[in-house]
């Protein structure tokens, strides 16, 4: 069973451009400045609410100069953030003033499952949505950013998986992750995880005529689902093994423990534990203010810092 999205990890090009967009324009908090543990010459940037609570965490591997990917089947095609009701006119103006091209109708936002939606691309082409979501008005958020409190991003609304068909993925979701089917609108089926916090929704879009996606800059690498602790993750890993999903061993990601596997439609899934969280090596006040390395990479700090491009970090508002 999962309470919903833990984090979404995508691929970016220039790290400074990424920081300026997600922390500067969207107003998320940079909660961790670290490196890709499998490629320590590249940044891994984490954004979220004040403490980076599960359900608010958007992360990026940054590979400057890497090729662009292609959105398509077998990918998370859309990453949707929740904002309070009545916020989209503010966001429409803020994004247009920053030169961001909006997708779909500009004056009247599109609606999905009776919620207003504003769609656009980030500087690398990643497809993003802001969704007016009534419960989000009561969710915690990062109050130290540049966006007024009554319009601030509150974490994830949902992700949308691009699929050739529903059946096998739906079985995984309902039988193994124990999320419930809550409706269908056109070619989109919606599922809801237990709990009522950010990131408890998931959409499947059936797109049999769409090209298969290519994971590179401007696409999502994987989506992680929440496990409350190590025991729950191990139980889910055992279930995945029994049902033939071939998950990885548990990997230590410093701020959570991870198990990876591919769902039947090809999207890379991760199971990530809620603890220990981002205050494992920084206080809440210090989050995202300095390069943090896991203990096994500390001996290589000098070499890593020489390779990484310098970045200008956001300051609290």
pLDDT in tens, 211-270: 999 999 999 999 999 999 999 999 999 999 999 999 999 999 999 999 999 999 999 999
Mean pLDDT (whole number) for 27-34: 98
Calpha distance 157→33 (Å, rounded): 24
pLDDT digit string, tens, across residues 292-315 = 999 999 999 999 999 999 999 997
- Homologous superfamily of domain range 5-307: 2,3-Dihydroxybiphenyl 1,2-Dioxygenase, domain 1 (3.10.180.10)
Break the chain into its structural domains and give their ranges. Answer: 5-307
More confident residue, 317 or 211: 211
133 HSE (CA, 13 A, CB side): 25
Tokens of 186: 């056109």
Helix/strand/coil for 115: strand
- Closest by alpha carbon to 59, among 300, 240, 270, 230? 270
Q: pLDDT > 90: what percent of the chain?
A: 93
pLDDT digits (tens, 9 = 90+) for 160-178: 999 998 899 999 999 999 9
Tokens 């701020």: give the residue: 255
Q: What CA–CA distance (Å, rounded) separates 28 from 77? A: 21
pLDDT of residue 107: 57
Extended strands (E) in 49-155 = 57-62, 75-83, 102-103, 110-112, 115-121, 127-132
DSSP-derived secondary structure letter, 309: P
> pTM of the prediction?
0.96
Spatial distance between the Cα atoms of 216 and 29, rounded to a whole number of angstroms: 24
Do 4 and 158 contact (CB within 8 A), yes or no? no
């Amino acid at each position: 069973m999962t309470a919903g999205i833990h984090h979404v990890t995508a691929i970016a090009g220039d790290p400074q451009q990424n920081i300026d967009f997600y922390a500067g324009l969207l107003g998320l908090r940079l909660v961790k400045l670290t490196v890709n543990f499998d490629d320590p010459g590249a940044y891994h940037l984490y954004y979220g609410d004040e403490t980076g609570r599960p359900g608010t965490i958007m992360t990026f591997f940054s590979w400057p100069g890497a090729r662009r990917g292609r959105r398509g089947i077998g990918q998370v095609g859309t990453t949707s953030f929740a904002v309070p009701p009545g916020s989209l006119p503010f966001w429409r103006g803020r994004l247009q003033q920053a030169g961001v091209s909006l997708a779909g109708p500009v004056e009247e936002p599109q609606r999905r499952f009776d919620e207003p939606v504003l769609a656009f691309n980030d500087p690398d082409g990643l497809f993003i949505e802001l969704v007016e979501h009534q419960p989000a008005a009561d969710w915690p958020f990062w109050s130290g950013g540049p966006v007024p409190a009554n319009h601030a991003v509150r974490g994830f609304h949902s992700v949308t998986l691009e699929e050739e068909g529903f059946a096998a993925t739906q079985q995984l979701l309902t039988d193994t992750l124990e999320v419930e089917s809550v409706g269908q609108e056109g070619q989109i089926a919606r599922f809801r995880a237990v709990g009522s916090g950010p990131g408890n929704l998931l959409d499947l879009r059936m797109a049999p005529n769409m090209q298969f996606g290519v994971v590179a800059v401007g696409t999502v690498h994987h989506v992680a689902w929440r496990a409350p602790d190590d025991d729950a993750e191990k139980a889910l890993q055992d279930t995945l093994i029994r049902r033939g999903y071939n998950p990885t061993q548990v990997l230590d990601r410093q701020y959570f423990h991870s198990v990876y596997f591919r769902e039947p439609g090809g999207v890379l899934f991760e199971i990530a534990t809620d603890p220990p969280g981002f205050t494992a090596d920084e206080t809440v006040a210090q989050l995202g203010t300095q390069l943090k390395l896991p203990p096994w990479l500390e001996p290589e700090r000098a070499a890593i810092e020489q390779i990484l491009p310098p970045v200008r970090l956001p300051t609290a508002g």
